[in-house]
Structure formats: structure tokens, C-alpha cells
Amino acid sequence: MALVMDREALNVFLDRNFPQVAGQIRVEALDEQQMTARLLVNEQHLRPGGTISGPAMFALADVTIYLAILARIGEVALAVTTNASIDFMRKPESGRDLLADCRILKLGRVLAVGEVLMRSEGSDEPVARCSMTYSIPPNR
């Protein structure tokens, strides 16, 4: 499916509609097969022991899949997560941003399914894998 929003438009949308993550998550790259987003890791994303927290990783996955869907359907702020599964596979590398590589596996009229592999910047080893299903409102 062709893209209807580019990297810049997605970042503007995110900043405008989700101030709670503005400046923390950025779309880095986007094409018809994949999108990559970055979590700009800082102290608020860390858990005791200095590693990136599970909630911060989950938020990155959720926002990444959401934006990858919007890149294909346009600004639909009310698309919502209906199912999520995440596997934490290894500890992220300390002091590095987290990258999320996303593929949309299915994009239907009312449901979309996406998958994210997260990795520490500079590494190809996945630290987590997440799959999510989104409900897309009718009459978008």
C-alpha cells in the first residue's frame, strides 16, 4: 500500500497529538515495507539497574506500529490498540538509544496487525519483539 504520510508529517502529528512522548520518540526512516523509530533514551526511561524499562520499550513499540499504520491510512487519531504481545529477549545496551523496526503484516478495513523488533543503536541483536493489533474506526 502506498504511503500517505511521510517521516516529517508523522513526527509533526506525534508532537501535536501526543505531547506526553513529544521529543522522546522520532520516526527515523520510512518506506512501503518498513518504518524505523527511535526512542531518545534518557533518565526517565531507565529502571533500577540502569537499563531501559519494559514500559518505555512497550511505549516505543505501540507508538511505532501506530505511526506505521497512519503512514498508510492518514491521520486517524482514534485508531486504538486492541491486542498486544511483547517478548523481552535481552537487556538493551546501556547508554544507547533504542530503535524499533516495524512491518505492517495486515492492513484491513477495521483491523491492522504490525510487528516490531527493537534493538539498541549500533547492534543488530533484537532486545524485544512485539506484535499488536489495532482497531481502525469506520468512516476514517
SS3 106: strand
Find the mean pLDDT for residues 28-33.
Answer: 97
Find all residues with CB under 8 Å of 16, minimum gap 6, and list them.
none
SS3 88: strand
SS3 85: strand
The residue range of the domain holding 54 is 7-135
**Does a structural domain hold residue 62?**
yes
Strands 111-120 and 80-88: unpaired
Report the b/e string of 82-111 with b at 16+ CB within 10 A: eeeebeeeeebbeeebbbbbbebeebeeee
CATH code, domain carrying 98: 3.10.129.10
Spatial separation of the C-alpha atoms in residues 53 and 82, rounded to whole Å: 22
Q: Which three cell numbers stand for residue 59?
A: 511505549
**Does a structural domain hold residue 1?**
no
pLDDT tens-place string over residues 48-91: 888 999 999 999 999 999 999 999 999 987 899 999 999 999 99
pLDDT at 36 over 90: yes
**Does a structural domain hold residue 118?**
yes
pLDDT tens-place string over residues 126-139: 999 999 999 999 86
**Does a structural domain hold residue 2?**
no
**Does a structural domain hold residue 122?**
yes
Q: Give the total number of structural domains in the chain.
A: 1
pLDDT at 1 over 80: no
